[in-house]
Amino acid sequence: MLEIDWNFIVVFALVWILVLVLSRVFFKPILGVREKRKKIINENEKIYEQSLKEYENHLTLVENKLREARQESQSIRQKMVSEALAEKTKLTQDVQIEVQGQVEKVKEELQDEVERLKAQLGQRVESIAKKLEEKLLQ
Q: Which of 57-66, 82-91, 112-121, 125-134 has the lowest mean pLDDT?
A: 125-134
The pLDDT assigned to 120 comes to 87
State the maximum Cα–Cα separation within the chain, in Å, rounded to a whole number: 194
User: How far is residue 116 from each of residues 38, 96, 110, 113, 126, measured CA to CA in Å?
Assistant: 114, 30, 10, 5, 15
Residues 84, 88, 89, 90: is their CA dihedral positive or negative?
A: positive
| pLDDT band of 128, cuts 50, 70, 90 | confident
- CA 117, CA 109: separation in Å to the nearest integer? 12
Beta strands in the chain (DSSP E): none
The pLDDT assigned to 127 comes to 85
- CA 16, CA 9: separation in Å to the nearest integer? 11
pTM: 0.49
Give the type of residue at 94. D
Helix, strand, or coil (residue 2): coil
Q: What is the pLDDT of residues 28-71, one digit of tens each?
A: 989 999 999 999 999 999 999 999 999 999 999 999 999 999 99
- CA 109, CA 118: separation in Å to the nearest integer? 14
